[in-house]
Structure 1
Amino acid sequence: MKKGFLISIYTIVALIFLIFFWITETYNQLVQLNENIKTQWSQVENVYQRRADLVPNLVNTVKGSANFEKNTLNQVIESRAKATSIKINPNNLNQNQISKFQRTQEGLNNSISRLLLIVENYPHLRSTQNFSELQNQLEGTENRINVERNRFNDQVNNFNTYRNKFPKIIISNLFSKFKEKGYFRSKIGSEKVPIVDFQ
């Protein structure tokens, strides 16, 4: 009887130890994946900030051109102010927060695009070295934004896939910091095919 009782105790202790080890390993992996997302989010914010920092230089360069549309410049300035005012908590990167951030950034992007289209009517402005350099920097920054957003989505995918697998989802749901993270999505309306009419 004593021998059977001791075997039962050892089995229970070993089972508890294995469960504890598995929970610890799962928790630590979730922490690592979560930190990877926060690091990548910092990179995303960094490249968006770079774009926001280029906007005042672009506006000042364009402002120097006589008779330029002030309304367009004001829209760019207002969009930049909105885009730089939004702050997302890296511990709460849910889909709603990411979409809110993305909408604000798209507003700035649309304003800059409108500005660049209008500049096409000002050949003397387009030919200045300052404007040309700023336009090249903006194009490079847009490419960086795309790269960092893709990397962020990859990190989110790794985290969400890991956390949602059974039985890891049980551990994930015990801790609020391991909630499912949101993705950057394609621009609203980008799924529509553009209509080209040469008439």
Structure 2
Amino acid sequence: MKKISGLGIAAIIAGLLVIYGIYWYNSTIGTNEGVTSSWANVETTYQRRNDLIPNIVATAKKYAEFEQETLIGVIEARSNATSIKVDASKLTAENIAAYSKAQSAVSTGLGRLLATYENYPDLKANENFKELINELSRSENRISVARTRYNDAVKVYNVKIKRFPGNLMAGVFGFDEAAFYKADEGAEKAPDVDNLLGNN
């Protein structure tokens, strides 16, 4: 039986390292795509909520005595939130914090609107408005699920690029850490639509 020379052993080890490197790279691309896809879902669920706002405001506006300042606040917050986009290749803590802050302002404005509309029995009885508010509640639930799934995907990806020897290869291949979605303090609780509608 032939002995394998030192050069042969080195070639085998090098070959195994190349195979492992290819496997690691491809699987990391997959986990990175999981983060990108999850982020797209976060943006989609927020956009779905933001798309409801014009109809909610238009319905409330029909009641002339409804607080205009509240409506204007919601419209302005929505406008600001829809203007902020985060490139999925730049999911940094700063970019996500700016996005989160804008979306939290929308949540705050909607919370004020929902608290105020309690004072208007005719608006509260409006079937179209009720359905819009129910849809808003469903959107808030979807947002919560999407953010959780995004953070789960980020955890899997970040562990992969931080754990040895992945941490060495991440630098070589340009894989950067993705930031978790951290809601502004107090923003983790969606407006309590169910209580306002008496669905509890």
TM over 0.5: yes
1:52 aligns with 2:50: yes
Q: Report how far residue 186 of structure 1 moved.
A: 4.1
Structure 1 pair 190/131, CA: closer, same or farther in 2 (3 Å)?
A: closer
Aligned match of 1:180: 177
Residues 104-123 of structure 1 correspond to what in structure 2 (within 5 A)?
104-123=102-121
Query: 1 CA distance for matches of 2:173 and 2:126?
Result: 56
**1:17-49 deviation line (CA, Å, top 9, x unaligned):** 111111111111110000011111111111101
Aligned match of 2:26: 28
Q: Which sections of structure 1, spanning at least 5 residues, go unmatched?
A: 192-199
Identify which of 117, 125, 128 aligns with 2:126.
128
Q: Which has the larger radius of gyration?
A: 1
Query: 2 CA distance for matches of 1:74 and 1:66?
Result: 14
Identify which of 52, 66, 69 aligns with 1:68.
66
Q: TM-score w.r.t. structure 1 length?
A: 0.89
Q: Are the aligned partners of 2:91 and 2:179 in contact in 1 as well (CA < 8 Å)?
A: yes
Q: Which sections of structure 2, spanning at least 5 residues, go unmatched?
A: 189-200
Q: CA RMSD in A?
A: 1.6
Amino acid at match of 2:177: E
Q: Are the aligned partners of 2:100 and 2:183 in contact in 1 as well (CA < 8 Å)?
A: no
Residues 151-162 of structure 1 correspond to what in structure 2 (within 5 A)?
151-162=149-160
Aligned to 1:106, the other structure's residue is in SS state helix
How many residues in Structure 1 have an aligned counterpart in Structure 2?
187
Aligned match of 1:150: 148
Aligned to 1:20, the other structure's residue is in SS state helix
Query: 2 CA distance for matches of 1:63 and 1:188?
Result: 30
Moved over 3 A (4+): none
Q: TM-score w.r.t. structure 2 length?
A: 0.89
Q: Report how far residue 189 of structure 1 moved.
A: 4.8
Query: 1 CA distance for matches of 2:133 and 2:77?
Result: 18
